[in-house]
Amino acid sequence: MDTDVQFRELAVSGAFVFTPPVFEDDRGLFTSPFQEPAFVAALGRPLFPVAQSNHSRSRRGTVRGVHYTLTPPGVAKYVYCARGSAIDIVVDIRVGSPTFGRWDSSVLDPGTFRSMYFPVGVGHAFVALEDDTVMSYMLSGSYEAQHELALSALDPALALPIPEDLQPLLSARDLAAPRLAQVQAEGGLPEYDKCRRIEAALWRP
């Protein structure tokens, strides 16, 4: 049985999308959204030690993000969609990164079971394309409210891929989030080199 996982690096340095094979028969289907050999082939190391898993359910049009974690401590993520469909978006907000200011995206759904890896320090957002869209995350760190920050997903300078036929539904916190340029001017963005060091340290005993 072919178990090869396809993967490619995204336009944001260090971020990857993985597409596993899906095996279907008259009972249903089986797949493995995360497979360590493919992750090692892509990044040269196994997945980070998982400290927390998250589960969200969203209405069509919901936009969550752009969220990021103060570094330190910094958090890496591995994300897939278990129900519905979503545009999952990675935004490079790491000052000094060769891809700073860029974003990339992939449609995640339980037809392809694509998954995305988000390195430490990047921003994460997604747009739910269907009602009852379920997103599942594995994270390298535990949630601590004082470390969790947000940028505006509606920032015209970012021009994130929010479909025009959707009415964006955002939380009060996300609606009030500042634009990227403002936070950069205030010195509030993660530093690329620091993020790289934090990420490398995740695998140290």
Does 67 participate in catalysis according to the annotation?
yes
| Mean of all residue pLDDT scores within the chain | 94
Q: For residues 45 and 81, is the Cβ–Cβ distance under 8 A?
A: no
Domain count, the chain: 1
Q: What's the whole-number mean pLDDT along residues 12-29?
A: 94
Q: pLDDT tier at 34 (50, 70, 90 boundaries)?
A: very high
* Number of neighbouring beta carbons within 10 Å of residue 20: 21
pLDDT at 205 over 80: no
In a domain, 1, yes or no: no
Q: Which of 68, 78, 117, 137 is catalytic?
A: 137
Q: Range of 108's domain?
A: 6-201
Residue 188: give its domain's CATH number: 2.60.120.10
| 161, part of any domain | yes
pLDDT of 171-190, one tens digit each? 999 999 999 999 999 999 99
Active-site residue, 147 included: no
Catalytic residue among 55, 67, 117, 147: 67
What are the residues whose beta carbons fall under 8 Å from the beta carbon of 12, sequence distance 6 or more? 90, 91, 92, 99, 102, 103, 104, 122
Residue 136: what pLDDT? Answer: 96
Amino acid identity of residue 38, one-letter, is A
Return the ∠ at Cα 24 (arms to 134 and 80), rounded to 5°.
25
Q: For 101-112, what is the mean pLDDT?
A: 96
